[in-house]
Structure 1
Amino acid sequence: MDPTSRTPSPPRPVEPHDQSPPDGPPLRLRPPTHRVDPRARRWWLLRGLAAAGAPTLVVGAVWWLWEPARPWLAVPLVLGVLWTAARVLVEPRLRYAVHRWETTDLAVYGLSGWLVREWRVAPLSRVQTVDAVRGPLEQLLGLATLRVTTASSSGAISLRGLDAELAAELAERLTAVTERTPGDAT
């Protein structure tokens, strides 16, 4: 049988947990449209330096100061330098190229990751809390993370690397839309 001559399978029935509008199409996983703020690249670079660069620096200092340890610290030092280079030179660019977000009156869409990519959609009828979170580096760079907690066992959707003012506006808007959305968020 020719694979191009197959008849298309019937559309999947909309199940109650899809929380789709009664007269519209079901919510579906689709690419979000908005990029994160360009300053997020600097944030990911600084995080990479702190997470990978600091331990590599310690191993390098021990290697330099303690001559008997040099033979067995050489491999961890080289691996640390390579991992730090990946976290500082590659990760920010890949994350910026991949990370996308979008909010509508029906759902929150998020695409994130650099080694493992996560692509999620959360219907607003399932939203329990909406938070704008700002860590120390995010505050320094004027960024924020919008965290949308749902009744899902997968946990919250975190839209990282957003402009702080935009994240606050989105949190307010999503909270207002969630309050008007029917459903029990479970």
Structure 2
Amino acid sequence: MTTAPSPVREPAWSLPRAAIGLWTTEGAISAVFLWLGIGAFLLFVPASAGGPVPVLRWVLPTLGLAQLIVSVGISPWVKHRIHRWEITAEAAYTRTGWLTQTWTLVPISRIQTVDVTRGVLQQMFGLATVAVLTASSQGTVRIWHLEHGMAQRVADDLARRAEMVRDQAT
């Protein structure tokens, strides 16, 4: 017999500080591409083109600067304060999001697969993501940007515990 997971509360663990570096790098990369687009517009569209072009020649760099400030200087720090995770005896759960926060809880008894993935930037920062999957498309929990060793230990522990619950059910 399985017990119901405890009510959703703030998960206990924050992400490692290396996640801030990863998010800052992602923000800088997106800013580079945005600025390349703004530069191409400023270079190839003459100010004398009329219409909204003169206004756009002022607005686009301003928006580009705002995007750079938010994505590199603010967002990584806010995300680090908000993104949290925890594995309890009954469930795996996370809180993610910045403007829209999402709490996701997966009971241990519902776990079917546990995956560890590492994107290119995650590898550069020594991080990995643990995906805890269930039969439901809505039931997946992703614990983003854990230190690689910690991610592997969490995945191994969850897989072992889920197997024990399955063995007890049969």
**2:123 corresponds to:** 139
In 2: Cα distance, 1:155 partner to 1:46 partner: 29
**2:153 corresponds to:** 169
Count the aligned residue pairs.
161
* Aligned ranges 1:15-164 → 2 under 5 Å: 20-21=2-3, 26-51=5-30, 53-66=31-44, 68-69=46-47, 71=54, 72-164=56-148
Describe the shift of the 1:26–1:46 C-alpha distance in structure 2 as closer, same or farther (beyond 3 A): closer
Tell me by how many angstroms 1:30 deviates.
1.3
SS in 1 for 2:9: coil
Q: Which runs of 5+ in 2 are unaligned?
A: 48-52
In 1: Cα distance, 2:122 partner to 2:115 partner: 15
Richer in helix (by share): 2
In 1: Cα distance, 2:57 partner to 2:110 partner: 50
Q: Which runs of 5+ in 1 are unaligned?
A: 1-18
Q: Normalising to structure 2: TM-score of the pair?
A: 0.85
Conserved? CA contact 2:85–2:93, under 8 Å = yes
**1:12 corresponds to:** none
**Deviations, residues 16-45 of structure 1 (Å, cap 9, x unaligned):** xxx852xxx653211110111111000011
SS in 2 for 1:110: strand
Q: Normalising to structure 1: TM-score of the pair?
A: 0.78
SS in 2 for 1:181: helix
Describe the shift of the 1:74–1:63 C-alpha distance in structure 2 as closer, same or farther (beyond 3 A): farther
Q: Return the structure number with greater relative CO, CA threshold 8 A, min gap 6.
A: 2
**Deviations, residues 137-160 of structure 1 (Å, cap 9, x unaligned):** 110110111111122332521111
Structure 1's consecutive aligned runs of 4 or more residues displaced over 6 angstroms after TM superposition are none
Matched to 1:132, the amino acid is V
In 2: Cα distance, 1:84 partner to 1:152 partner: 37
In 1: Cα distance, 2:61 partner to 2:113 partner: 43
In 2: Cα distance, 1:80 partner to 1:154 partner: 35
